[in-house]
Amino acid sequence: MNRIDRTGVRLLTVRHVTEYSYREPVGLGEHRMMFRPRESLDLRLIRTELDISPRPASLRWLHDVFDNSVAVATFDVATAELRFDSTVTIEHRETKLPDYVLDDRARNYPFSYSEDDRPDLAGGLTRRYATPAVDAWAARFVDARREIETLPLLHAMTFAIREAFDYERRLQKGVQTPAETLERGRGSCRDFALLMIEAVRSLGFAARFVSGYIFVPETDPDDTVGGGATHAWLQVYLPGAGWIDFDPTNSIVGNRNLIRVAVAWDSRQVLPLWGTYVGSASAFERMDVAVSVVESDQHDPAGAEPVGQPA
């Protein structure tokens, strides 16, 4: 059954399960989750469900400084296993061939952001991993002797990362620095997103990190990487078009197959799940993460709560 219609609307269900195992019962500190996708012009939440075991003593929701949805759980029991199971169903409207209309002043590079925009974009313009190696790599995509078109420049950088670097899935915490990615010639989606963010910032573009999920269609499973786990990419702000998605891991420009959950100036601000436990350092045994994104039928997931009333 083909569940995508002529307008490019898909109904997708995302299930994200994270399990922690400990060698002995431990106390649990506060845990924060970013599982709930960001509603926008191209994404609408249909149903949500969040199951946590052991059951938290309290669960509350808030919006952080970037307006991301964050669930905060506290616990009053000791346990040797901790499990988070999030299921969301969304309506995703895909832009097949995005033709972004830029302001006249932004069509060619270099350009400057307006005095009105610059204060709000300051966090996206600030370099956090500035190194000569990154600057030199970014400079390959521009010609100091002449103006070049803005979008083709960003397209070229997006495609170059996919072509020149090897992808590796890595579940460990943390992100490589852009210089480490350049040196190793390989990395995860987080590493590639951070490299391109730092590269475009070196050229004067405002960029932000995006954490979310990616849908891998059955028609091209070998051409899309990053499925089975959370995914990461970036957005660049271009006057006239706003925030535009660039996924250097898969050479995607636009929102094709991308499900945004959280945005921030740096990857450390959009961890999908983080928390603490009270016990010995040797008590931690392992963490298992499984993510599935599938096309859904037109029905409500059993047991789910309506959007706006998180379970």
pLDDT per residue rounded down to tens, the chain (311 residues): 334 444 578 999 999 999 999 999 999 999 999 999 999 999 999 999 999 999 999 999 999 999 999 999 999 999 999 999 999 999 999 876 678 999 999 999 999 999 999 999 999 999 999 999 999 999 999 987 788 999 999 999 999 999 999 999 876 667 899 999 999 999 999 999 999 999 999 999 999 999 999 999 876 655 677 677 899 999 999 999 999 999 999 999 999 999 999 999 999 999 999 999 999 999 999 999 999 999 987 544 444 454 443 33
Q: Kindly state whether residues 263 and 278 are assigned to the same domain.
A: no
For residue 260, what are the domain limits?
A: 104-269
Note whether residue 99 is domain-resident.
no
The domain tally of the chain equals: 2
Q: Kindly state whether residues 171 and 293 are assigned to the same domain.
A: no
Note whether residue 208 is domain-resident.
yes
Note whether residue 302 is domain-resident.
no
Q: Kindly state whether residues 124 and 195 are assigned to the same domain.
A: yes
- Side-chain-side CA neighbours of residue 49 (13 Å): 15
pLDDT value at position 143? 86
Note whether residue 147 is domain-resident.
yes
Element (H, E) at 155: helix 150-164
Cβ atoms within 10 A of the Cβ of 271, count? 16
Spatial contact of 178 and 134, defined as CB atoms under 8 Å apart: yes
Q: Kindly state whether residues 131 and 247 are assigned to the same domain.
A: yes
Q: Kindly state whether residues 277 and 260 are assigned to the same domain.
A: no
Q: Kindly state whether residues 129 and 244 are assigned to the same domain.
A: yes
Q: Kindly state whether residues 84 and 146 are assigned to the same domain.
A: no
**What is the distance between the alpha carbons of residues 233 and 236, in angstroms, rounded to a whole number?**
10
Q: Kindly state whether residues 214 and 174 are assigned to the same domain.
A: yes
Beta carbons within 8 Å of 238's beta carbon, 6+ residues apart? 100, 102, 106, 150, 151, 205, 244
Spatial contact of 229 and 291, defined as CB atoms under 8 Å apart: yes
Spatial contact of 149 and 107, defined as CB atoms under 8 Å apart: yes
Note whether residue 132 is domain-resident.
yes
pLDDT value at position 3? 42
CA distances from 221 to 8, 90, 109 (A): 19, 21, 35
CA distances from 240 to 243, 244, 293 (A): 9, 11, 32
Q: Kindly state whether residues 126 and 250 are assigned to the same domain.
A: yes
Q: Kindly state whether residues 127 and 207 are assigned to the same domain.
A: yes
Output the domain CATH number for residue 109.
3.10.620.30
| Residue 210 CB-density burial (10 A; 0-12 exposed, 13-18 middle, 19+ buried) | buried
Spatial contact of 148 and 203, defined as CB atoms under 8 Å apart: no
135 SS3 class: helix
Note whether residue 195 is domain-resident.
yes
267 SS3 class: helix
Q: Kindly state whether residues 253 and 123 are assigned to the same domain.
A: yes
Q: Kindly state whether residues 85 and 115 are assigned to the same domain.
A: no
Output the domain CATH number for residue 280.
2.60.40.2250
CA dihedral in degrees (47, 51, 52, 55; nearest 10)?
120
Note whether residue 61 is domain-resident.
yes
Q: Sign of torsion, CA 53 59 64 69?
A: positive
Note whether residue 60 is domain-resident.
yes
